[in-house]
């Protein structure tokens, strides 16, 4: 009798743990998808921004080509780690593009450019928020996977800690375009 009760309690605990961890896993995947949505929004702005600047600074063709190449790479299906590595280059190239625009007063006054720059700045804020939300969600998931007694069953059920979204160069992130 006692053995049946103990087995029943363990089964209920295992099922509840599995369901809770599954919920957290889906939240992490959703949070990652939200980061991807905001990054896609940024990548969709890049060609418009490049074309606006290109009209004023045609001699910077190498920068425009590099930005187009980075955008194409970023739109591919990348792992979070590959995407993080690429992000530094994208931010650096966009910063160079904005700096190029600063050197052309007539471009700085261009309404289309100002609108795109504002939209890019807004998008960068949304990307930062989405990354923060992702990291908060991953932290909750990782804590749940690593807490006792969940750590006894989580690996058996296929739940492993997830990496946080980190930046190789936090200074670049603070100096994001916009």
**Residue 86 is part of a domain; what is its CATH number?**
1.20.1440.20
Rounded Cα–Cα distance for residues 127 and 160 (Å): 25
Neighbours of 16 (CB within 10 A): 10
Site of tokens 């006054």 = 109
Rounded Cα–Cα distance for residues 93 and 138 (Å): 29
The pLDDT value recorded for residue 77 is: 63
Give, for all 178 residues of the chain, the pLDDT tens digit: 899 999 999 999 999 999 999 999 999 999 999 999 999 999 999 898 888 887 777 667 788 888 888 888 888 867 777 887 788 888 888 888 888 877 777 777 778 888 888 999 999 999 999 999 999 999 999 999 999 999 999 999 999 999 988 765 544 444 554 4
As for how many domains the chain has, the answer is 1
Q: Residue 20 is part of which domain span?
A: 2-174
The pLDDT value recorded for residue 18 is: 95
Structure tokens at 152: 């006894």
Is 6 exposed, middle or buried, given 0-12, 13-18 or 19+ CB atoms closer than 10 A? exposed
Residues 6+ apart with CB under 8 A from 110: 52, 56
The pLDDT value recorded for residue 27 is: 97
Helices 2-54 and 80-102: crossing angle in degrees, nearest 10, is 30
């Amino acid at each position: 009798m006692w053995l049946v009760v103990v087995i029943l309690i363990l089964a209920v605990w295992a099922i509840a743990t599995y369901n809770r961890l599954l919920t957290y896993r889906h939240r992490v995947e959703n949070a990652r998808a939200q980061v991807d949505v905001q990054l896609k929004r940024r990548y969709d702005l890049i060609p418009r921004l490049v074309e606006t600047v290109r009209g004023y600074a045609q001699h910077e063709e190498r920068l425009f080509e590099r930005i187009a190449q980075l955008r194409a790479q970023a739109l591919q299906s990348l792992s979070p780690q590959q995407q993080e590595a690429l992000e530094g280059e994208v931010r650096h190239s966009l910063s160079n593009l904005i700096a190029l625009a600063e050197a052309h007063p007539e471009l700085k006054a261009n309404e289309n450019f100002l609108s795109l720059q504002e939209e890019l700045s807004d998008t960068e804020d949304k990307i930062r928020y989405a990354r923060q939300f992702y990291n908060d969600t991953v932290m909750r998931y990782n804590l749940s996977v690593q807490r006792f007694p969940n750590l006894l069953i989580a690996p058996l059920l296929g739940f492993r800690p997830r990496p946080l979204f980190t930046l190789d160069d936090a200074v670049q992130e603070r100096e994001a375009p916009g």
